[in-house]
Amino acid sequence: MNKDKQVSVSYPKLPILGWAAFTGERVTPLPGVLDAPYRRDTTSGRAAIGLGLELIGVKPGDRVLVPTYHCPTMIAPVVQAGAQPVFYPITGTGGADIDWLRRGASAGARAMLAVHYFGLPQPMAVVRAFCDANAISLIEDCAHAVFGVSDGRPVGHWGDIAIASLTKFFPVPEGGMMVSSTRRLDELELLRRGWLDELKAVADAIQLGTQHGGFAGLNAVLRRLFRMKKWLRKRYVPYEHANSVASHRFWSSRSAFAARWIANNVHRARIAATRRRNYAQLAARLSRLKGAHAPFTDLPDTAVPYVFPLYVDEPEASYQRLRGAGIPIFRWDQLWLGTPALQGDRGVEWASHIFQLGCHQDLTSDQVDAIADTVAAMIDSPPHRT
């Protein structure tokens, strides 16, 4: 038998809809983005960034400060706005290198995108002070951190605006959010969704939950719904394949009603508690691997994690094998073309070496143990080379 042969297991990569989503306390003990006084619901976190740039007045040719450690969807809205992304380095704790920025690279910047990576809130008071001193609008990226506290203030409350990605924390098929604690967002006009979009969102959420056993006892009814979804798919053009006009309309629209309803009504205490439990479980199992280490083993009391970050010494030996085994794993190895190598930066290094392991609320403790077993085996025992 080939010992390197992979056996794929179906773990949910993101939260799923099911009966469990409505159990436990409704409110999480930690505040966050959802508590901001002003909020607009968007189709995605990427759409929220693009709309946020428009809202704060970024024009073609403006300079926007962005981190070297990023998903390309962070940078694309900047480029689409005609602005110039100016990359800044991040430190070993994931924060913006403010000393580097103070040395002059930020001169003339119109806006700055600052990120709470992995759901671990970064110190934002120093970032806020830097932006204020240099007349820079601050976009606080909370795509990884819907809940949490930074320097005594909820995440999402430091930026002129903040953005979030609902699909990372809630069992929704789509959805982002733009919030602000200082300015009303009424001037932002978002288009209504068509009925096909609305029906598809409902079907997507239910189907994914059913695939992972979220709705015990309703399989027969749900199968009928999915037959209807197949009929809808023949008449629906997904936004990612649509022309630029249709894409712009999608990004300028509200999220589907189903996504908004689910995010507003699921019980949030379970989200926070289970994610923290799963993170701690992975930290205990994976912090002392021979070929990897956990850069953030101790989870602050003020954090609700998105993923568990694991630094792998030789990432190419195991990343695709872990994906093939069905592990809920992500990596930001596709950096924006032209991302520079900056002195003292950790961002470009993290792009290939940091594995983001799922720890969301719909992974059971047994599943987390199984994930840890697979990760440990594949990192400690790379494939034989002939």
Given a cut of 50, whether residue 243 has pLDDT beyond it is no
pLDDT tens across 324-376, in order? 999 999 999 999 999 999 999 999 999 999 999 999 999 999 999 999 999 99
Q: Predicted confidence band at 199 (pLDDT cuts at 50, 70, 90)?
A: confident
Per-residue pLDDT band for 238 (boundaries 50, 70, 90) equals: very low
What pLDDT, on the 0 to 100 scale, is given for residue 51? 95
Query: 201 or 119, which is more confident?
Result: 119
When pLDDT is cut at 50, 70 and 90, the band that residue 106 belongs to is confident
Provide the pLDDT confidence category of residue 385 given band limits of 50, 70 and 90.
very low
- Give the 3-state secondary structure percentages of the chain, helix then strand then coil, rounded to 5: 40, 15, 45
Residue indicated by tokens 């992974």: 363
Q: How confident is the model at residue 239 (pLDDT cuts 50, 70, 90)?
A: very low
Please write the tens of the pLDDT for every residue from 208-223: 888 888 887 775 667 6
Greatest distance between any 2 Cα atoms in the chain: 64
Higher pLDDT, 302 or 229: 302
Residue 233 has a pLDDT of 58
Contact 12, 147 (CB under 8 A): no
Annotate 6-22 with b (16+ C-beta within 10 A) or e (fewer). Answer: eeeeebbbbbbbbebbe
Instruction: Determine what percent of the chain is predicted with pLDDT higher than 90.
Output: 76
Tell me the domains of the chain and their CATH numbers: 31-180 (3.40.640.10), 268-380 (3.90.1150.10)
Which tokens belong to 305? Answer: 């994690």
pLDDT range class, residue 310, cuts 50, 70, 90: very high
Lowest mean pLDDT among 169-173, 188-192, 306-310: 188-192
Residue 384: pLDDT above 80? no
* pLDDT at residue 223, rounded to an integer: 62
Nearest-angstrom CA–CA distance, 114 and 150? 13
pLDDT band at 235; cut points 50, 70, 90: low
Torsion of CA 164, 166, 168, 170, to 10 degrees: 140
pTM above 0.85, yes or no: yes
State the Cα–Cα distance between residues 307 and 285, nearest whole angstrom: 15
Q: Which residue has the higher pLDDT, 206 or 362?
A: 362
Residue predicted with more confidence, 381 or 380: 380
Three-class SS state of 348: helix
Q: CB–CB of 128/161 below 8 Å? A: no
Residues 253-286: tens digit of each pLDDT: 999 999 999 999 999 999 999 999 999 999 999 9
**Strand duo 109-115 + 63-67: pairing:** parallel
Q: Check residue 249 and give its pLDDT.
A: 65
Residue 97's pLDDT band (cuts 50, 70, 90):
very high
Range of lowest pLDDT (35-44, 124-133, 144-153, 251-260):
251-260
Q: What is the per-residue pLDDT across 130-151, written as a single tens digit (0 to 9) for each?
A: 999 999 999 999 999 999 999 9
Q: Residue 229: which pLDDT band, with cuts at 50, 70 and 90?
A: low
**pLDDT for position 218:** 72
Q: What is the mean pLDDT of residues 18-31?
A: 93
Task: Give the residue-averaged pLDDT of 42-50.
Answer: 96
- The model's confidence at residue 8, banded by pLDDT at 50, 70 and 90, is low
Residue 122 pLDDT > 50, yes or no?
A: yes
Number of C-beta neighbours around residue 79 at 10 A: 13
